[in-house]
Structure 1
Amino acid sequence: MMKSLAIVGFGISFFSFGGETPAKMSQTDYVSMWSNVAVEHMLTYRIPASITLAQGLLESGNGNSPLATEANNHFGIKCSDWTGEKIYFDDDAKGECFRKYPTATESYNDHSLFLTKKPRYAALFQFPVDDYKSWAKGLKKAGYATHPEYAEKLIDLIERLKLYEYDDKTAPQNNGTELLANNAKETSKTKTKETNVNKSASSMKIDESCLKYQNHILKENKNDVKFIIARKGDTYYKIAKEYELAMWQMYKYNDFVDKKDLLEPGDIVYIEPKRNRARSKGATFVATKDITLIEISQAEGIKLKKLVKMNGYTSEKVTVQKGQKILLR
């Protein structure tokens, strides 16, 4: 059980490994890489995305700590009740055992389960999902870390990097009571199973087809760039897993912009790089309504930076007026 700050990840100034502590990833890079996962977990587990990101930043040294790079452990969780791979680092005591994950994504998954299943964190879920201050103080009070300024450091990260903005992305309306109640009943699973056996088969029958994940239909635009159309509930993370892509590829291929972590039905999502220009000579786009340059980039499958350069703009955040012509080549 983790009872310290896991100094391994508390900013690289707190832990030295072989005398080398070069920061390979900035705080901004880290947030860009993991924000969509944090938001997805917020919607699933009702843990504020800001808290998840702040803890990940703090505990992993922006993803650069030895624990993060060698064990994919971004939250400093120790080996209590753990049957998976392990790694040993000096923390509160010498040679303490920490959980080791095959991927950093597994670390994020385990962090959410860790908070939802441990009774000592149950009180946290009584706080609103956008009350990051109460969550930060509650984590410290529950013993997630022993550093006296742990809560203050989380709050500072959240406010300085404006991580609280991620808590506004369709936060769940329920108070998480059902989730906590289910986790608290794990010890009585045997009795529950015995009760379920007595239920009639007809009352327990489920249409298994609705449980199967349906792959997206792969499409190709006129510039020969492959894409899919987002469905309700889609995220870049889910699509990346489906097509075995890294998150940086999803961001790069789709010219990732602020406040676009969650996809809307009908959004175009590219799974390979967009083109530098249109295939047809003299190709143009005429706006039939006010539209942003990023929307044109997605619609035409042409890189945003190239559109900016071709049309003499100085910023990517441009709104094209109705009737205006945009060069595509």
Structure 2
Amino acid sequence: MKKILNTLTVLFLASLCLTAQKRQPDYEAYIKKYQSIAVSEQKKYGIPASITLAQGLLESRAGKSPLATEANNHFGIKCSDWRGDTFFQNDDQKNECFRKYSNPKESYEDHSSFLAKRSRYASLFSLKSDDYKGWANGLQSTGYATSKTYASSLINLIELYQLNMLDSESSKLLASNKKKKKAVIEEKTIAEALAESSTVVSSDFGVIEEPFDHKVYKNNGVKYVLAKPGDTYKSIAREVNLPEKVLRYKNEVTDDYVLSVNEVVYLGAKKSKAAKNVPATHRVEAGESMHSISQTYGIKVKKLYQLNDITYGSPAVFGKVLNLK
């Protein structure tokens, strides 16, 4: 009798599991309604469409939460540094302030901008736009939501409704667009590149239309451009179709850092050590900093400190020989 009961219990739990995993019509309707917006936002920012939709489903209860129906807020974004309309409801605390939008599309657009403009999420933009698991875990670890199961909830939704197919299709479209114009990208040291003129550029987030203001090179396998008179991180970010916050993060500079003429601006993440074709050491010259040296060789600043067993934040010492590998 006990064995039969155990068997029935297992079958009952299995049935519950299957029921829990069954697709819901209202969720499918939500996906169909907003998938084109999510794909469009992926093309602009590189945020996986699957992640955007899964967050929308989870945060808005498939568009049926009061926040979604009364404020068009599908992502639970609160009022910090917000100057638009507001909506109040209980959340972690009573009567909290949330952003209110004119329509759901505005909510989707603001969700992308919200992630792209905050340094806490900058590391996510170095992930591939079809790495939904990396994005899900990254959103949880950077504190987008307080739930300890936030990442797994997103991943479960994505896999149940096969939302990752949207990421792949969007990436394929981007790739086919890139093939229409091949970027001229050359492996050049900074010194070699300084002697050359500007021409063509292509970004990981899409092809940039002509005319091109900068030529793209590679140093240590990482794409970069050289700043021209009048350039800012904002203007270069616009040209290469990257969020300014992401571009600053890749170059390890603060929001108030001002570019100088001929300064290196990397379009990708720097490496842990220097390239094979450069010397293994560098003697610090007058006026150099650990950051400027890291830019010269395409090495992350933190890694440069670690390679030399120097306390992070210590200034570069004139005449000191630094290990680059």
The TM-score, its normalising length taken from structure 1, stands at 0.48
Higher relative contact order (CA 8 A, sep 6+): 1
TM value normalised by structure 2 = 0.49
